[in-house]
Amino acid sequence: MWLKPEEVLLKNALKLWVTERSNDFFLLQRRRGHGEPTGRITGLLVGALDTVLDSNARVTPFRILLQVPGSQISWVIASGAAIEEVNKHWDWLVHNLLHSLSVFENKEDVASFVKGKVKGLIAEEVRSRQAAQEDDPEKFREALLKFELHFGLPSSEKLVTYYSCCCWKGRVPRQGFLYLSINHVAFYSFLLGKEVKFVIPWAEVTRLERVSTGLMTEAIRVSTRLRQREFSMFLNLEEAFLVIGQLADISVRRLLDSEGLELDRVLQQPTRITKRILEEQALREYVLALFRLPRGERLHEVVSCSVWTPHARCHTAGTLYTTDSYLCFSSRDEGNCILLIPLSEVLSIEKAESTSPLPNPIIVSIRTKKAFQLIELQDRDELVERLNSRLRALQWKWSMFRSRKGSRSTVHVMFECCYNSVQLCSVTVSVTQFSLNLCQNMEQVKERLWEDHFSEFGRGVHMFRTEKIQRLIAMGIPESLRGELWMTLSDASSDLESHQGYYISMVQQSMGHNNLATEEIERDLHRSLPDHPAFQNPTGIAALRRVLTAYAHRNPKIGYCQSMNILASVLLLYAKEEEAFWLLVAVCERMLPNYFNRRVIGAQVDQSVFEELISERLPELAEHVPDLSALSSVSLSWFLTLFLSVLPFHSAVCVVDCFFFHGIKAIFQLGLAVLDANAAHLSASTDDGQALMILTRMFIVCYLLIVFSFCFSSGQKFGDLTVQQIERLRCRHRVQVLQAHEDMIKENAVRTEMSLNSAAAAEAAAWCYSDLSHSFMERQYRLDRPQFKSLYGLLVPWPGGSDQSTDTVANRTFTLMDQDCDNLVSFREFASWLDTLYCEELNEKWEFIQFCKTLYSMFHGDPDENDLFQAIAKVTSLVLQIGEVGHRGHSLGSEAASQKQVTPGDAGVDASRGDGSSVAEKEWTVSYAQILASLLTEQVLVNFFEKPVDLSAKIAAAKEKQYHQRAGLLTMQQRTR
């Protein structure tokens, strides 16, 4: 264990300790006599000395010393009773600290740095042990006080966790603590008399990486739009990296995304987020992805157990995951044995008699007269009680559903496959190999193999999924079983069973509707599989139309996206129409989450993950093709269409077979195999264009014939890729993709505003979606009245006055700008307002301030305050005189009544937006032009309104003030709960 550094005299310790390992800064020593043959006098003396000492002072047999070259004083920093424990600490020091210490010129600084680092590791170890025992340990409270003291953030800023680490400043590491809160990542260090501290909002993080460069060991790099920060020497770098990625992902999704990617309910309130919540959410995401469960499923129990596997004649150890509607089991080695039991199939869950060979067993009986035995369950009684409670609730729900729905309708819209088999060349291959030849004898062989598999491993959703089924699927599922197995492997069959009549109702409700989705569907119907006979007749086209429009009606957030037509058409070839609908639901909502929306965020996240996997798994190719993002123009279609758009049909459906069994992992593996097979050609390419040409050539298919049979075997080159690795990569890369989208939208909005002069031209260049009255950029960046008033007070160029006056001006400015009366101000209108305030002359600027009830409040705090007051007094007198003259002579008459006017008694009336009503002759009036002319007579007022102001500095100050305003509001909301 790590020890608080204590001084020892090295020369006095040489007789009691033997040095086993050493370097320039550290010594690993063994207590003399420990582990030595008996009989040596020195060993006996040291052993006797240790024996007579009391238990509290007894010395551990191994220790690590920090030594400074040339000094007789060293410091004990670690000790242990076993050599394995001390070697672990030694390896950490060598790997993380040794190379970094050479940058210190003063050797005393080396000692201070290492001692500070060891103290930080001790604090983190204590925090980890205590956190496992209680929710709010004392060490965490101490860290929270330091966090609040060092950074001065609002009390509402919840600290989630903290880590001891080093931040690199140039070539010098600064030992300190990294604090992770719900909105920020903060670092504090005070070492060698120097203080280093900074705060980075999660919303500004654009990229997270694990890097290893120069003297640094493996480090976490946090990038923003302006700079990079690198942190290393974590006690547990993997855990820290995962938590950082989760917090950044949650914050960016909460602040930036407005289309899909909804956060789970527990994460929608940031103040409830804890490190334990993050761990539970990471586990839930992994379970949903591994078993391809509906996104709404909640994870309840996670229990170690063993399941009796009849095919292996033994119990297989693994983990049981229970959710709202499923019992899920996975062996310890991911993918070796998976069992999925929908609660809708379960008849009973009962305890059996516990024996020595079968401790704490339970029996799960299902409707097909099968039963599963689980043993070695801790807290078995409570687990069974909770499972039976959920089972009873589900059975009651089903009984109520059936009583309302009655028997299932026998009127189903069926799809008839009317295509001719495509004859391929007959090539004799081994049955254990994947083959693209679908000759009749091969089909019969595969059908017989599957029937044997069903008899041994079970049939239906709850069959055992092992390596044997992986090999059968890699060979290609028989045509006669493909629809059934797709429904089974995706568990779309459970959705179909629990939503009887749902598809027919969706078809009926969507009939007659004409919108953007239906127009796009009609345009793509004949492009789905244009060479396939099944979609060259009205029957096939009508079925495809019904499936796509029914899904668009079910899920308007997705509606219809390109490539959905290709997927749906292939599903229809092997499944009934209603089954194809539920398969499409499973693909779009569970197996490829967030793929099919306007921005294809999910697909782009996986493209980013794919690039990292290429760099990691194919380093030579990544070295020759430095810009891997260029590959996405080709590989994006691989992911969106599951290779259906680039492979011959009978090859592509075999990819779909593997996809339904493995999920997205199959597409990653096949994509890596394709690039690996073409690595030599890609490396020899001279530019990106040539590389892309190579990837799009048809000879890729020839390589696929070779690599596909090995692609999904656990022993092949990419077979060790796991669902857990993919989910962690997705979490981290989603931050980068969302920030890139946000930057692109902002850049396009600013570019459009700067380059286009007319509204018509702006609309033509905008991204028009379902709301045709506004471009996407305008709908993405719009302000309501409270938001605009807040920004008005922060950005207005003059010093400002009373809150009431500022609020009045802001209100009436908003009304003036809201020309379409939708109570929203677009980005274009807001930018024009800023441009007018900071760049235009007084003639243009005055229209934004003409509604002030008084001008005096605007000048408070200005250096020329007295001169401005005198000038406005003169202007007021002049306006009064003009008004009196006009009133006496009634010279304005009906002409004045039709003009835009204000009264001195209520100068806040909206003169620029007159309602056309006539003004009574007896009213005292003055025109806007007369007020403006009066103001122009005083140069000091002209100078005040035309004085240049630094907008960037104003915005920087506004950001800081706005943050504290929001934090204060959040604090008040929490107190009122």
| Unique residue bearing structure tokens 């749906």 | 568
- Spatial distance between the Cα atoms of 565 and 537, rounded to a whole number of angstroms: 16
Number of structural domains found in the chain: 6
- Res 412: pLDDT: 37
69: confidence class by pLDDT, cuts 50, 70, 90: confident
Contacts of 833 (CB under 8 A, 6+ apart): 813, 817, 825, 848
Same-domain status, 304 and 320: yes
Answer whether residue 330 is part of any domain.
yes
- Res 574: pLDDT: 94
- Spatial distance between the Cα atoms of 462 and 343, rounded to a whole number of angstroms: 11
Structure tokens at 612: 């990292």
Sign of torsion over alpha carbons 53, 57, 61, 65: negative
Could you tell me where the beta strands, DSSP code E, fall in 194-292?
194-201, 205-211, 219-224, 228-232
Q: Please determine, for residue 870, whether its predicted confidence score (pLDDT) is greater than 50.
A: yes
- Spatial distance between the Cα atoms of 26 and 5, rounded to a whole number of angstroms: 13
Same-domain status, 624 and 720: yes
Q: Please determine, for residue 169, whether its predicted confidence score (pLDDT) is greater than 50.
A: yes
188: confidence class by pLDDT, cuts 50, 70, 90: very high
**Hey, is 954 helix, strand or coil?**
helix
Same-domain status, 816 and 687: no
316: confidence class by pLDDT, cuts 50, 70, 90: very high
CATH number at residue 616: 1.10.472.80
Overall average pLDDT of the 543-557 stretch: 92
| Unique residue bearing structure tokens 């006599």 | 33
Residue 797 CA: distances (Å) to CA of 785, 846, 931, 950, 952: 19, 13, 22, 9, 12
Structure tokens at 556: 């308007």
Answer whether residue 139 is part of any domain.
yes
By C-alpha distance, which of 401, 399, 409 is closest to 501?
Answer: 409
Helix 649-662 crosses helix 564-574 at what angle (to 10 degrees)?
Answer: 90
Q: What is the DSSP annotation of 799-858?
A: ----HHHHHHHHHHHHHHH-TT-SS-EEHHHHHHHHHHHHHS-HHHHGGGTTT-S-SGGG
- Spatial distance between the Cα atoms of 436 and 699, rounded to a whole number of angstroms: 15
Helix-, strand-, coil-residue percentages of the chain, each rounded to 5: 55, 15, 30
Identify which has the larger pLDDT, 945 or 168.
Answer: 168
Answer whether residue 456 is part of any domain.
no
pLDDT digits (tens, 9 = 90+) for 94-113: 888 887 787 777 777 888 88
Overall average pLDDT of the 891-916 stretch: 41
Question: DSSP assignment, residue 912?
Answer: G
pLDDT digits (tens, 9 = 90+) for 344-374: 899 999 999 888 889 999 999 998 888 999 9
CATH number at residue 380: 2.30.29.30
122: confidence class by pLDDT, cuts 50, 70, 90: confident
Residue 318 CA: distances (Å) to CA of 329, 335, 346, 376: 7, 11, 21, 10
CATH number at residue 520: 1.10.8.270
| Unique residue bearing structure tokens 């599963």 | 372
pLDDT digits (tens, 9 = 90+) for 678-723: 888 777 776 666 666 666 554 455 445 545 554 555 446 788 889 9
Q: What is the DSSP annotation of 340-393?
A: EEEGGGEEEEEE----SSS-S-EEEEETTS-EEEEE--TTHHHHHHHHHHHHHH
Helix (H) or strand (E) holding 159, with range, is: strand 159-169
What counts of helices (H) and strands (E) characterise the chain? Answer: 37, 24
Q: Residue 623: what residue type?
A: E
Same-domain status, 663 and 796: no
Same-domain status, 827 and 862: yes
Identify which has the larger pLDDT, 231 or 947.
Answer: 231
Q: Which of 558, 593, 628 is the last residue of a domain?
A: 593
- Spatial distance between the Cα atoms of 638 and 484, rounded to a whole number of angstroms: 25
- Res 508: pLDDT: 92
* Pair 121, 84: CB distance under 8 Å: no
By C-alpha distance, which of 389, 338, 346, 340 is closest to 371?
Answer: 346
Q: Please determine, for residue 727, whether its predicted confidence score (pLDDT) is greater than 70.
A: yes
By C-alpha distance, which of 121, 67, 60 is closest to 85?
Answer: 60
Of 300-309, 323-332, 713-722, the range with the lowest mean pLDDT is 713-722
User: For the whole model, what pTM was predicted?
Assistant: 0.71
* Pair 1, 78: CB distance under 8 Å: yes
Q: Which of 127, 142, 174 is the last residue of a domain?
A: 127
Overall average pLDDT of the 587-604 stretch: 87
Overall average pLDDT of the 820-849 stretch: 63
Same-domain status, 588 and 607: no
Same-domain status, 252 and 300: no
- Spatial distance between the Cα atoms of 696 and 665, rounded to a whole number of angstroms: 22
Read off φ and ψ for residue 492, nearest 5 degrees: -65, -20
Answer whether residue 421 is part of any domain.
no
Same-domain status, 18 and 82: yes
Overall average pLDDT of the 473-501 stretch: 91
By C-alpha distance, which of 187, 2, 174 is closest to 80?
Answer: 2
162: confidence class by pLDDT, cuts 50, 70, 90: very high
Both ends of the chain: CA-CA distance in Å?
Answer: 44
Q: In angstroms, how far is CA 824 from the centroid of its own chain?
A: 30
Same-domain status, 871 and 731: no
Question: DSSP assignment, residue 58?
Answer: P
- Spatial distance between the Cα atoms of 207 and 608, rounded to a whole number of angstroms: 11
* Pair 427, 433: CB distance under 8 Å: no
Long-range contacts of 92-95 (CB under 8 A, 24+ apart): 92/235, 93/26, 93/64, 94/23, 94/26, 95/217
Answer whether residue 382 is part of any domain.
yes
Same-domain status, 934 and 808: yes
- Res 717: pLDDT: 76
- Res 54: pLDDT: 38
* Pair 329, 319: CB distance under 8 Å: yes
Structure tokens at 114: 């290492």
- Res 14: pLDDT: 55
Answer whether residue 354 is part of any domain.
yes
* Pair 907, 950: CB distance under 8 Å: no
- Spatial distance between the Cα atoms of 69 and 751, rounded to a whole number of angstroms: 61
Would you state the torsion angle of the CA atoms of residues 71, 73, 77, 79, taken in this order, to the nearest 10 degrees? 120
Read off φ and ψ for residue 337, nearest 5 degrees: -155, 120
Answer whether residue 910 is part of any domain.
no
- Res 85: pLDDT: 84
Q: Please determine, for residue 900, whether its predicted confidence score (pLDDT) is greater than 50.
A: no
Same-domain status, 819 and 866: yes
Q: Please determine, for residue 416, whether its predicted confidence score (pLDDT) is greater than 60.
A: no
By C-alpha distance, which of 623, 618, 586 is closest to 294?
Answer: 586
Structure tokens at 554: 């079910």
Same-domain status, 216 and 256: yes
By C-alpha distance, which of 89, 101, 73, 158 is closest to 125?
Answer: 89
By C-alpha distance, which of 192, 190, 193 is closest to 176?
Answer: 190
Answer whether residue 286 is part of any domain.
no
Q: Please determine, for residue 572, whether its predicted confidence score (pLDDT) is greater than 80.
A: yes
Domain with 82 in it: 2-127
Q: Which of 353, 384, 399 is the last residue of a domain?
A: 399
